[in-house]
Amino acid sequence: MARRKPHWAFVLMGVNIAATQGLLIRLLLVSFSGNELSIGLILANWMLAEALGSHLAGRLTHTLKNTLKSFVLLQGLFALLLPLVVCAGYLVRRFAGVAPGEALGFAAISWTSLLLLAPLSTVHGAMFSVGCAACSEGKTRDQTIVGRLYALEAIGAMGGGVILAFVLVSRFNPLQTGFLLSSLAWATALWFLLAVDPLPQHRHWAAALSLAAMLCLFFSLSPQALIWHHSLVQWRWGKTYHVVYDRDSPYGNVAVTQLLGQYTFLSNGTPLLTTPFPDIFTVEETVHLPLLFHPTPRRILVIGGGLGGVLSELLKYDVEYVDYAELDPLVIEAVRAFPTDLTRQELEDVRLRVHNVDGRLFLNQLTRQHKVLANRYDIVLVNLPYPSTLELNRFYTEEFFQLVQRVLDERGLAVFPLPGSLTYIGAAMRDLNLMVRDGLQRVFPGVRAIPGDTVLWLASPSSSLLSATPQALVATWQARSLPTRFITAEHLRVRFDPQRLAWFDKALQTDQPIHPNHDLRPTGVLYGLSYWSEIFAPTTHRLLTNVRQIALGHWSLFLALLFSLIMLAQRIRPQWTGFTVPLVVATTGFSGMVCDLTIVFIFQALYGYVYQYVGLITAAFMAGLAAGGWITSRYLANSTTVSEPLVTGKMRRAIMRSELALIGYWCILPLLLKGLSATSVTWAVPPALLLLNAMGGCLVGLQFPLSSRLHLSARGEPGYTAGVLYAADLVGAFLGAVAVGIALLPVLGASATCLFVLMLKGCSLALVAISTSEPS
């Protein structure tokens, strides 16, 4: 057989690992209540354990008598563990001992995801090192092998995420997908075995691998897989709640539980609504109190949280139409599957117009299609949770407020509910409310609050909002004579009592600066997370409070001290210069993760969150990574005839050029992002961001083969080099995943984050420039 064939097993391995990561993230998000920060923790734990596996395997490959069999055994172990980890992923909440509806703190998210993922990710990290050693056997002169295999795995990863998002999610449940991917892992081991060795020598191994692959495939397509899935879903929520509906869409998991005749609809584990008895008090206040400030609400837009009460209360008015933006059509399908008189009345009303689209994208489309809207909205109700994630934060930035202003009538009203209290407002709740209030005041002439357990922030292009008196509001309510259960004239007099309003205004007073919330500097995420952690994770709350105080100057000082210590250590102990290449690879891994996540977050903010595109964005990065790795590998293949000392110098210069290219990229990226945020040609935003991510991936991919070639020139052990450098790459990516969502993008903003990465790469360039010893 052709000697190149076993290399293509790395493509299958890349497909498998990218799809597996996506599958486990989606599965764990249900247990972690859709908390976006948990994505960073999941990825970080995965990469940390994977780095450990790669490093340990790299150090042990020279002791293995048969690397071929070792690689096949590792693939088999991965295939065996994968369905078990998927099954355990359903039951994380049970393992953590939390009740349905209770949120997990950061500590619980960290230890549960680490324990769950570590066995699988450690095995995968070891597979790369051992696979490189197996492919290099008998090729002592081939010192480009590690870089080529790295590029091939990236090619597979490029397709894995897309296949999961566009094929597997819509057709199979997580358990079925897990067994399908397990079947692929067995098939990968079989491919590698047959490509390296002829059948007669390992016929029993080949037969066993074939049987395992077919069994996993057949089980994934069998009715038994559906039965197991439904049992695991029921165990996830415990015996108290009966799960009557559970399906996955490209946007997340939608489930319906039943208890004593009450249906609770959940999205990624977070309750959306309850029927047939919603929290009618909160629903009535959210709708009727703000609408008192508009004389004739006729055209209304609701973004999120409409079904199960809010729409019903709005439709009591003499409205012309109510537009309802609900991203996931599966939510509507689930509500239709379990109808009540309330939801049936809402969905069958001809005045209701449901739009299955992201709310911000819907506003973008309106303003793009009609520069001057013929029929502007009288009311825009943004009935979403507070900005605890980057996805939600897009609805609380000043840029979003400007979008809302453009679609409002001159007497129109925007409504933003936030957490509040009638007795005590803590610092985190205060800062969150101030952040939204200050942002609204910079866009709207009229801004006022209705205090309560839920604070209703009202904003209008007209300052007449500020002059409405309690007496006038009560008179308006009495004139409307709407049927309600809790809203009465006396209730309104209490809610709009001047003393209560004065107490609330005083409670919001502070000398602490409140940072503005923008698309390219989403400080609202930190304010939201600070409030969340104050309730669920006090230790994390103190960390987030301190993180808010860190400026770019502090990060610059930290980098300067760190790299000064590294350079000093290398001068004292010259043999430590051997760590230069792994350090450079780690900083590049950090740079790549920050690039990918920043582009994803900016895409959400500028274009509107369309979930499937996240797979395309990541695929664009992996395509660039594969292209860069392949280009450099081909370049190195033409340098094999050069003497070793010349090769070492040539590789150093090539790495320095790749560092300069990365520095140039991080110089121009903030300028391009600012240009995209200001452009009126919104259709150009998605392809431009995809191209930027592919460019970043390409520059990152250029460096790994160069670094592996330089490292191999001294060590001569492909397995060891693969283990060390792959581990360094993953450690850098681990740090990037943790930092970008908490300490960099929300605190510094996109431009300063780019500047920080630029300084980081400048330091690593200096390390390469002053290093004169070869890696060890």
Q: pLDDT digit string (tens) for 238-282?
A: 777 889 998 888 777 889 999 888 899 988 788 888 888 888 899
Residue 761 to residue 767: CA distance in whole angstroms: 10
DSSP3 helix / strand / coil % (the chain, rounded to 5) = 70, 10, 20
* pLDDT of 323 above 90: yes
Cα angle at 317 between 314 and 322, to 5 degrees? 50
Check residue 267 and give its pLDDT.
Answer: 84
Residue range 472-489, pLDDT digits in tens:
999 999 999 999 999 999
Tokens of 765: 């360039």
Instruction: Please report, to the nearest 10 degrees, the dihedral formed by the alpha carbons of residues 136, 141, 144, 145 taken in order.
Output: -10
Check residue 373 and give its pLDDT.
Answer: 64
* pLDDT of 773 above 70: no
- Give the closest residue to 414 by CA, choosing from 297, 531, 279, 282: 297
Residue range 722-771, pLDDT digits in tens:
888 888 998 999 899 888 877 888 889 899 999 999 999 999 999 888 87
* pLDDT of 625 above 50: yes
Residue range 647-671, pLDDT digits in tens:
567 788 889 999 999 999 999 999 9
Do 395 and 303 form a contact (C-beta atoms < 8 A)?
yes
* pLDDT of 226 above 50: yes
Residue 592 to residue 17: CA distance in whole angstroms: 18
Tell the residue number behind the tokens 């009540």, with chain if given: 340
Do 118 and 45 form a contact (C-beta atoms < 8 A)?
yes
First-last CA distance in the chain: 35
Across 36-50, 436-450, 684-698, 710-724, which has the greatest mean pLDDT? 436-450
Split at pLDDT 50, 70, 90, the class of 1 is very low
Residue range 108-129, pLDDT digits in tens:
888 889 999 999 999 999 998 8
Neighbours of 264 (CB within 10 A): 18
Give the chain's mean pLDDT.
86
Do 550 and 744 form a contact (C-beta atoms < 8 A)?
no
Do 738 and 592 form a contact (C-beta atoms < 8 A)?
no
Residue range 66-96, pLDDT digits in tens:
888 888 899 999 999 999 999 999 998 888 7
Split at pLDDT 50, 70, 90, the class of 4 is very low
- Give the closest residue to 303 by CA, choosing from 364, 216, 261, 350: 364
Instruction: Provide the percentage of residues in the chain whose pLDDT is more than 70.
Output: 91
* pLDDT of 362 above 60: yes
Task: Give φ, ψ of 748 to 5 degrees.
Answer: -90, -30
Residue 21 to residue 661: CA distance in whole angstroms: 30
Record the pTM: 0.85
Do 414 and 408 form a contact (C-beta atoms < 8 A)?
yes
Do 601 and 745 form a contact (C-beta atoms < 8 A)?
yes
Check residue 229 and give its pLDDT.
Answer: 93
Check residue 433 and give its pLDDT.
Answer: 97
Do 407 and 551 form a contact (C-beta atoms < 8 A)?
no
Instruction: Provide the percentage of residues in the chain whose pLDDT is more than 90.
Output: 45
* pLDDT of 163 above 60: yes
Range in 19-28, 401-410, 573-582, 700-709 the model is least confident about: 573-582
Dihedral (CA of 168, 174, 178, 179) sign: negative
